[in-house]
Every structure is written in structure tokens, then in C-alpha cells.
Chains A and B, each alone.
Chain A
Amino acid sequence: KQEVTQIPAALSVPEGENLVLNCSFTDSAIYNLQWFRQDPGKGLTSLLLIQSSQREQTSGRLNASLDKSSGRSTLYIAASQPGDSATYLCAVSHSGNTPLVFGKGTRLSVIA
């Protein structure tokens, strides 16, 4: 059974810092991996999707990497801003038809 772990569970940084969020998964036979953002009491916003054949994806200040063989992904946020404060979720799927398996998330607070 796939298990997704995210470290740290919570992170507080001053504005402007670069930071890294970590995600690991136990079964490396994944189809793709997605990073999401969730604001309190809200739904999920997809940030980046990495196919199993890809190594990284970038969108603006966000960069996600994938090392499938070791079961790891990182989300790098450059020049953090208070508006980045949210919970960041990592999720993997095993095929195009299967649902996502989520980690518990990392709660990020960026302090002005």
C-alpha cells in the first residue's frame, strides 16, 4: 500500500527566504506526482504535476523535482512571500485512472 510522507509537518520562515518542502513515497511505481496548495477551509489548487518520466517542473517561483527511484520529491519555493502561507500537499497516482494518495501536508507560514 502506497504511503506518502511529508516533512516537515510545519514550517515558519521570514519573508524572502528560499525554502524546500519534502515528500517521500514508499512505492516508486508511480504514474505521476502532484503538488497542491490548500488554504484553510478551502479546496485544493494544483501547483505542479510531474510525470514519472520527468525530473522536474517549474512554475514561477516554484520548482518541483522528482527522484522516482528513491521515492522522493521536493518543492522549492524561491523568495517566499506572506501570500505563500498555506498547507502544501504532495500526492501520487499509480495510473491515469486511479485516485491520488495524499501526504498529510506541510503547513507553511511566511512571516512579513
Chain B
Amino acid sequence: GAVVSQHPSWVICKSGTSVKIECRSLDFQATTMFWYRQFPKQSLMLMATSNEGSKATYEQGVEKDKFLINHASLTLSTLTVTSAHPEDSSFYICSAREQGAMEKLFFGSGTQLSVL
């Protein structure tokens, strides 16, 4: 089956630094990738939708200048948390939809971000 690789699995950083999370589709081309955030015991909340070669679409309340998304190729999307603060500590997870396949979404393994 399709595999989505997400790195790193966990990261600890100091407040004010930037953190980049990568999401790769390993055996398929993903025209669309979604980025979610999940707080403890809460549901996954959609942050943004990224389409290859175009600007990401952000959900209401998500700061696009803080959460930079780049989807430069059909197999890679990155999320950069800029000037991270403790309230950004969360579990971030990406998902990808295979080009031409409009049904199942495949999820990465997630990144646990802890900002000190």
C-alpha cells in the first residue's frame, strides 16, 4: 500500500527557533497534502491544504506566516513552524492523496513537537 513518510518523529526546540517537518509520499505522487494538528486527547484539526506548485490554503485561525507550507514537488511537502513558542507544542501529522485517486488518504506517522 501507499506509504507516507514524515520526519522527524519528535523534536524538542527552544522558544523562538524554527522547526521544519517533512512529509514525503514514497511510492506515489501526491498532488494534495493536508497538514493536521492534534492536541492531547483532542481530534485532528486541519491546519492547511497544500497543492503542488501553488500556495497553501489555510484554515481559519491558522497563521500562514507562522506555519509555512511548501509543496514544491509531487512527493514532498514541508511545514515550518517559525519562531516556535510553547503553545505550538503539539502533534503534527500530514496526509497525502495519490494523484488520480480521490478516495483514501494516507497518513504520515506524525511529529511530536515540544517547545521549551
**How many CB-defined contacts (below 8 Å) exist between A and B?**
58
- Across the interface, A102 reaches (CB within 8 A) one of B44, B103, B104, B106, namely B44
Q: Verify B107–A102 contact, CB threshold 8 A.
A: no
Q: Verify A43–B105 contact, CB threshold 8 A.
A: no
Q: Verify A49–B46 contact, CB threshold 8 A.
A: no
CA distance A51 to B102 in the complex (A): 12
Instruction: Tell me if A72 is interfacial: C-beta within 8 Å of chain B.
Output: no
* Interface of chain B, main secondary structure: strand
Chain A stretch 66-109: residues in CB contact (< 8 A) with chain B: 89, 91, 95-97, 99-105, 107
* CB neighbours of A41 from chain B (8 A): 10, 91, 110, 112
| Chain B residue nearest in CB terms to A87 | B41
Q: Verify A46–B44 contact, CB threshold 8 A.
A: no
CA distance A48 to B95 in the complex (A): 16
CA distance A32 to B32 in the complex (A): 18
Instruction: Tell me if A42 is interfacial: C-beta within 8 Å of chain B.
Output: yes
Q: Verify B104–A43 contact, CB threshold 8 A.
A: no
Q: Verify B109–A49 contact, CB threshold 8 A.
A: no
- A→B interface (CB under 8 Å): 4, 32, 34, 36, 41-46, 49, 51, 89, 91, 95-97, 99-105, 107
- Give me 12 A-to-B residue pairs in the complex whose CB atoms sit less than 8 angstroms apart, sorted by A's number: A41-B91, A42-B110, A43-B93, A43-B107, A43-B110, A44-B95, A45-B107, A46-B104, A89-B43, A89-B44, A97-B102, A102-B45
